[in-house]
Amino acid sequence: MNGSNEKTKTKIKAIPEPTLRRLPLYYQYLKKIQAEKNSQYISCTQIGNELNILPIQVRKDLEITEASGKPKLGYGVKGLIGNIEDFLGWNNTTEAYLVGVGHLGSALLGYHGFKEYGLNIIAAFDSDESKIGTETHGKMVFPVSKLPEMIRRMGIKIGILTVPAYCAQHLTDLMVEAGVHAIWNFSPVKIMVPPGIIVQHENLASSLVVLSKKLSMSIKTDRQ
Amino acid sequence: MNGSNEKTKTKIKAIPEPTLRRLPLYYQYLKKIQAEKNSQYISCTQIGNELNILPIQVRKDLEITEASGKPKLGYGVKGLIGNIEDFLGWNNTTEAYLVGVGHLGSALLGYHGFKEYGLNIIAAFDSDESKIGTETHGKMVFPVSKLPEMIRRMGIKIGILTVPAYCAQHLTDLMVEAGVHAIWNFSPVKIMVPPGIIVQHENLASSLVVLSKKLSMSIKTDRQ
DNA sequence: ATAATATCGATATAATATTATCGATAAATA
DNA sequence: TATTTATCGATAATATTATATCGATATTAT
């Protein structure tokens, strides 16, 4: 346990997921600072105060992007932005397909912020005849029947799933079969995938639960 | 430190946020099981296998809802659903206003699942003249100028913020001033609130980062 | 030029969350 | 009826994440 021969070869350091989730926050703030041209340098203290995160936490998070700062000054804003972009792979975009052009699906198609984060939704798919052939926020809608072939031909690695519960598993199977490596699942059910396939399940109910539980607990505390 | 007089009075046990986030998953699965009428009882092992969570974790999570099961059989499905509903306060709905009827805002207005989770969005607000007075998915859209008065009159505690970055802080201030206790923030910026006000920041960039980092790491591993 | 200060970077500690262990128990089976 | 088995419930061990401490250092002020 004295850290000499454990995994020195490939230097795989596990990245804490909470850190991963905070990096975009730092990034957004840094971009704002850069736009305001307030200063060349920024410290963990400043970032932390602005985002309500302890400065030590900020420093540890930035450390994993291999950023380095100067005592008394802090980090160079420009360099730091570059470090985060490199670390998160935001310099080369990944292309994705979206399946299910309902309310949420078209909202995601209309969100142009994804490009900034290295994701480009290049087309959408639906089974509704009235949607096929039309454009939603500039993205063509194709029939689901063409999904597997197009995934294969374009080498698509990420599928975004915004369909109702009843067909989520079927479309997952289609996509995985065709070669997708990761699925961003906005459908309200857990989907099953073979080992090695990555699923990120976006569950609004979970977030709502956290919010409302905190709320009910804060009200309870007030009255004590 | 020998645990005899620490907080014995009010018995405040901290609820782990990860547990809170998993409860809705169990709930959704239990509802499915109930609909299928497969059996009266269900075990942690079954739930865990289905959701890819260790049975021990499931048991610990369910424990905080004060559910109790029988050896060899497991938990009664119906009772368990009730326990989760009670614990999360899903039996009495909370009313909320939504501010910002853009793509995402109207997608949320159209999502009827919230009612099941104790949230009822009763109206929406926007500053766009062309939207005011219309209905979106059955919810009236009012001018932002009426927001403070209506929050006060209806005693609204939760505000859902689906507006662009530039006006997020202003609308937050309006809502907090009018008496809102919690804000579910879908805008792409961090908002500042006075102490005691709860903010749940929904950040798609964060989730996307987790997904794409896992993807890039899995590809790297494949090639080794 | 010297002293004071803010900050980084490394290391240590504490808090939180997950996973393992094991005895008790109710049902199923021999 | 006795034995086996699957599961709960409680407690212990481990892993992960967050926070604190402190020396080193570059800038600023004296």
Percent of chain A at pLDDT exceeding 70: 93
pLDDT higher than threshold 80 for residue A7 = no
Residue nearest to nucleotide C18 (CA to C1'): B57
In the block, tokens 């030590």 appear at: A56
Contact A207 B188 (CB under 8 A): no
Nucleic strand D near CB of residue A1 (< 7 Å) = no
Q: Are A208 and B117 within 8 A, CB to CB?
A: yes
Angle between helices B17-36 and B55-63 (to 10 degrees): 100
Closest by Cβ to A118, choosing from B102, B196, B212: B212
B134 interfacial to chain A (CB closer than 8 Å): no
**pTM higher than 0.85, yes or no?**
yes
Mean pLDDT of the B10-14 span? 60
Q: Judge: A24–B205 Cβ closer than 8 Å, yes or no.
A: yes
- Residues of chain A positioned with their CB less than 8 A from the CB of B214: 182, 198, 200
B79-128 pLDDT tens trace: 999 999 999 999 999 999 999 999 899 999 988 889 999 999 999 999 99
The answer to whether the beta carbons of residues B92 and A95 sit under 8 Å apart is no
- Predicted confidence at residue A223, as pLDDT, reads 63
Nucleotide of closest approach to A41 (CA, C1'): C7
Closest-CA distance, B73 to chain A, in angstroms, reads 25
> How far does the CA of residue B200 sit from the closest CA of chain A (Å)?
6
Q: How far apart are CA A63 and CA A55, in angstroms?
A: 12
Interface check B213 vs A, CB under 8 A:
yes
User: How close A1 gets to chain B, by Cα (Å)?
Assistant: 25
Provide the CA B132 distance to its chain's centre, in angstroms: 28
Q: How far is the CA of A48 from the C1' of C17 (A)?
A: 24
Assess whether pLDDT exceeds 60 at residue A29.
yes
Q: What is the pLDDT of residue A5?
A: 36
Contact A44, A74 (CB under 8 A): yes
* Mean pLDDT for chain A overall: 91
Contacts of A28 in chain B (CB under 8 A): 188-190, 205
Pick the residue from chain B with its C-alpha nearest to A205: B24
Confidence of residue B12 (pLDDT cuts 50, 70, 90): low
**Residue B174 in this model has a pLDDT that exceeds 50:** yes
Torsion angle of alpha carbons A42, A46, A48, A52, nearest 10°? -140
Residue of A223 and A11 predicted with greater confidence:
A223
Both tokens of B175, joined, read 């809502």
pLDDT for A186 beyond 80: yes
* pLDDT reading at A6 higher than 70: no
Q: How far is CA A84 from the centre of its chain?
A: 14
pLDDT over 80 (residue A133): yes
Q: Which two tokens stand for residue A48?
A: 């932390």
Selected for mutation to probe chain A from B209, B215, B223 (highest A CB count within 10 Å) is B209
Among A103, A114, A137, beta carbon nearest to B106: A103
**CA pair distance A86, A68, nearest whole angstrom:** 14
- A158: part of which helix (H) or strand (E)? strand A158-161
The verdict on a CB contact (< 8 Å) between A198 and B211 is yes
8 Å CB contact between A158 and B213 = no
